[in-house]
Amino acid sequence: MGSVSRLAERRVRAERLRLARELHDGVAQELALIALLAGHEEGQAASAIEAAAVRGLDECRQMIATLRGESPPGLDGGLAEALRALGAREGIAIDIRVSAHVEIDAQARFELLRIVTESVRNAVRHGAATRVEVELAEDRGELVLRISDNGSGFDLDQVVTGRYGLVGMRERAQGLGGALTVSSSNGGTRVELALMR
């Protein structure tokens, strides 16, 4: 049984490395070219294209690092650093409160950062939020991540078909063995993820 398990682990590792190579040699190279070409042009549209390509390239590099088993920023100091950069890119103030030193593996850190990133982008692009609060805390044996914004909110029953942001966030939460809840009103949106420790 041990040899079967080791073989499965080797196959998973090989597939992750293959995906990392494909991302690096394909999508990342195309994004880098787009950013380079847009950087040689003038005007607001060119600047927006360059900025979007750079953001996409940063995300692609994070995925490559995770697939290769390299550690992304942690959820304490690293979370604050990543969110400050995100806030600057999205033009929004992000308040960060981390009340616990969290030790989790690289894959879980990556998934949680992706959930936060998607929540912040939704708040800015769909809710016109001007402030987002991100809280990470230990609560009765659970790791709890809360993301709240002051945007216009949305009707959870009217989510447009073909939009996969919330679906992806829920899938990431389930993959971590957690539960994601979303509540929204005219006063903003709140996303909460609870993980057993």
Q: Helix or strand or coil: residue 123?
A: helix
pLDDT tops 80 at residue 25: yes
Question: Which sign does the torsion angle of CA 158, 163, 169, 170 carry?
Answer: positive
Do 35 and 108 lie in one domain? The reply is no
Alpha carbon separation from 8 to 3, 5, 22, 88 (Å, rounded):
9, 5, 21, 42
Alpha helices for 131-190 (secondary structure H): 165-175
Do 81 and 63 lie in one domain? The reply is no
Do 187 and 99 lie in one domain? The reply is yes
Domain that holds residue 94: 77-196
Do 37 and 88 lie in one domain? The reply is no
Do 117 and 187 lie in one domain? The reply is yes
Cα separation, 83 vs 61, in Å, equals: 17
- The pLDDT of 8-35, averaged and rounded, is 88
Do 105 and 33 lie in one domain? The reply is no
Cα separation, 124 vs 138, in Å, equals: 27
pLDDT value at residue 146? 94
> Is there a contact between 194 and 144 (Cβ–Cβ < 8 Å)?
yes
Cα separation, 76 vs 98, in Å, equals: 6
Do 117 and 190 lie in one domain? The reply is yes
pLDDT value at residue 110? 77
Confidence band (pLDDT; 50, 70, 90) for 151? Answer: very high
Do 59 and 88 lie in one domain? The reply is no
- pTM of the entire predicted model: 0.69
Do 63 and 81 lie in one domain? The reply is no
74-82: list long-range contacts, CB under 8 Å, 24+ apart. Answer: 74/102, 74/109, 75/102, 75/104, 75/109, 75/112, 75/113, 75/136, 76/101, 76/102, 76/136, 78/109, 79/113, 79/116, 79/134, 79/136, 82/113
* Number of domains within the chain: 2
Do 93 and 173 lie in one domain? The reply is yes
Cα separation, 58 vs 23, in Å, equals: 12
pLDDT value at residue 17? 87
Q: Name, of 84-88, 96-100, 117-121, the range with top average pLDDT.
A: 117-121
Residue type at 125 in one-letter notation: R
> Is there a contact between 133 and 147 (Cβ–Cβ < 8 Å)?
yes
Confidence band (pLDDT; 50, 70, 90) for 101? Answer: low
Do 174 and 153 lie in one domain? The reply is yes
**CATH number of the domain that residue 111 is part of:** 3.30.565.10
Residue 59 lies inside a defined structural domain of this protein: yes
